Amino acid sequence: MPVTEGRGSGKVTGGRMPERTHEFGPELRRRRLAAGLTLDRLAALVHYSKSHLSKVETGQKGPTPELARWCDTALDAGGVLAALVPERAVSARLPPASSDGEVWSLRMHKAGAGRFESAARQPGSTVGRGAGAGAGASRGSGAVFAFDLGGLRAAADAAGTTLVEASRAAFIQSRRLGQTAGPGLLLPSLIAQTHTTEQLALHSGPRTRRDLLVLAARFAEYTGWMAQESGNDEAALWWTDRAVELAEAGDDRHLAAYGLVRRALVSLLRGDVALAIGLAAHARDADAPPRIRGLAAQHEAQGHALDGNYSACMHSLDRARELLALDRSDFAEPVIGASHVPDVVSLYTGWCLYHLGRPQRAADYLARETERMPSHALRTRTRAGVRLALAHAASGQVEHACDLLRPLLGHVGLVHSATILADLRRTARLLGRHPRNAAVRELSPDLTAALTAAPPRTTR
């Protein structure tokens, strides 16, 4: 259904205005007084303390982008206040990956740590991308072993269909495992599966080769998602570029558009809203299937929400729903994007409404969609559940937020998600404004323990 929630039209801008944080306090006071609101009343609307708002108005404290958006909504400022305090961007622009003459090195320690590196092949080296060489050492022995791909071609050609089906089943199983395991545990196998599937493709007949290269691209794309979940944006973008290369080698030009969608998401997480909106809009207008364009419109909507632009956000969400309704994907194939969310646009609508300073309406959407998620989708349910708790905490329903968080804190440690931890930190900051609340005091030890279990960093 079309999204028509809320009030006000917001602003429509072609780019972000320069940051003018010093102007925010006086403008906030002017608009508050014009609206006939006391500091107490505004504090109740945005769920910040009166003393905090007073210090912001007088310039003793700097405003956050979130506070700016919420004051903008409470005072119906049409995006003017939000524009004075934009998100601080950390550039997500990285050069595209190149696989020419590349050597992969994957090291796994018995204790569980690992490291993946990609480097240009040195002159004179006999180990290249297509050689399938590997090496490992046992403690004290210095043993090294290597292997080649002899005999693979006949097996691949004789049973190409079975090979594709088995590889597809392995990918589906990897995605399911990713719902219950941390990225540090899953990344080594995903990297190996990407390499294996590519090598199977290169030693198969033409039709099987195309199918396997596209599947290798899906492995690479999911590897990028797990790298992002581990907190390594650069590795996430590197693997996204790798996925695009593999898909194009398999005559699938559409994943390039999805690569823009993934870059838009990383840009959002880094605070580069203008870049995210531009990338998402480019992907939305690309020659790509409706699903990819619909996912792009969702990220475009989230960018507009972070920009405080209500009308543009709602328009993008409506466009996303229209495009996803046109999706005619083969359901035998693994879907691109979230696979455990019944109505992904409604879920994004909830998150956008939170960014736009409408936490109670956001909670309504998030609660409905979280309830519909399958029980085995632990990572997806935990992410949505933490965001639901955040929305309730922001709307002043502190006890309910604590009740929602309590059963999720153990899951946070299992899935080791950087995005979930970021939302959990936001929730903790909101709950921290109520130190005397009994529910907050009771939850505090477990919440602190969950926050200290940060996901390990990985390297490209």
pLDDT band at residue 133 under the 50/70/90 scheme = very low
Angstrom CA distances, 114 to 106, 144, 223, 365, 456, stand at: 7, 18, 14, 39, 10
Give the SS3 label for residue 133.
Answer: coil
Task: Report the 10 Å Cβ neighbour count for 405.
Answer: 26
Q: Provide the whole-model pTM.
A: 0.74
pLDDT at 29: 92
Give CATH for domain 344-452: 1.25.40.10
Residue 255 and residue 261: Cα distance in Å, rounded?
A: 10
User: Which is more confidently placed, 321 or 141?
Assistant: 321
Largest CA distance in the chain: 81
Sorted by sequence, the CB contacts under 8 Å of residue 8 that are 6+ apart come out as 73, 76, 78, 310
Using one digit for the tens of pLDDT, what is the confidence trace for 381-436? 999 999 999 999 999 999 999 999 999 998 988 888 889 999 999 999 999 999 99
Residue 307 and residue 250: Cα distance in Å, rounded?
A: 38
Residue 447 and residue 344: Cα distance in Å, rounded?
A: 28
Residue 364 and residue 400: Cα distance in Å, rounded?
A: 13
pLDDT at 112: 54
pLDDT at 332: 59
Give the SS3 label for residue 204.
Answer: coil
135 pLDDT higher than 80: no
Which residue type is seen at 444? S
User: Which is more confidently placed, 336 or 359?
Assistant: 359
Question: In which residue ranges of the chain is CATH 1.25.40.10 found?
Answer: 344-452
How is residue 95 annotated by DSSP? P
User: What average pLDDT does this structure show over 7-14?
Assistant: 36
Residue 98 and residue 100: Cα distance in Å, rounded?
A: 6
- Residue by residue, DSSP assigns 17-29 as PPP-GGGHHHHHH
Residue pair 416/230 in contact (Cβ under 8 Å)? The answer is yes
Residue pair 457/230 in contact (Cβ under 8 Å)? The answer is yes
Residue pair 229/248 in contact (Cβ under 8 Å)? The answer is no
Token readout for 14 is 């072609």
Residue burial 246-266, b: 16+ Cβ < 10 Å; e: rest? bbbbbebebbbbbbbbbbbbb
Sorted by sequence, the CB contacts under 8 Å of residue 158 that are 6+ apart come out as none
pLDDT band at residue 146 under the 50/70/90 scheme = very low
User: What average pLDDT does this structure show over 319-342?
Assistant: 80
Token readout for 404 is 């929602």
pLDDT at 102: 66
Proportion of the chain above pLDDT 70, given as a percent: 78
Using one digit for the tens of pLDDT, what is the confidence trace for 206-249? 888 999 999 999 999 999 999 999 888 888 999 999 999 999 99
pLDDT band at residue 261 under the 50/70/90 scheme = very high
Give the SS3 label for residue 127.
Answer: coil
pLDDT at 373: 93
pLDDT at 21: 72
What's the mean pLDDT when you consider all of the chain? 81
Which residue, 45, 417, 443, 413, is CA-closest to 230? 417
Helices (H) and strands (E) in the chain, counts: 21, 2
pLDDT at 105: 77
Residue pair 459/117 in contact (Cβ under 8 Å)? The answer is yes
Residue pair 431/402 in contact (Cβ under 8 Å)? The answer is yes
Asked whether the CA dihedral 9, 57, 396, 432 is positive or negative, the reply is: positive
Dihedral, CA of residue 271, residue 277, residue 282 and residue 288, to nearest 10? 90
Question: In which residue ranges of the chain is CATH 1.10.260.40 found?
Answer: 21-84
- The CA-based angle 5-6-7, given to 5 degrees, is 140
Strand partners, 262: none
pLDDT at 101: 55
pLDDT at 220: 93
Give CATH for domain 21-84: 1.10.260.40
pLDDT at 255: 85
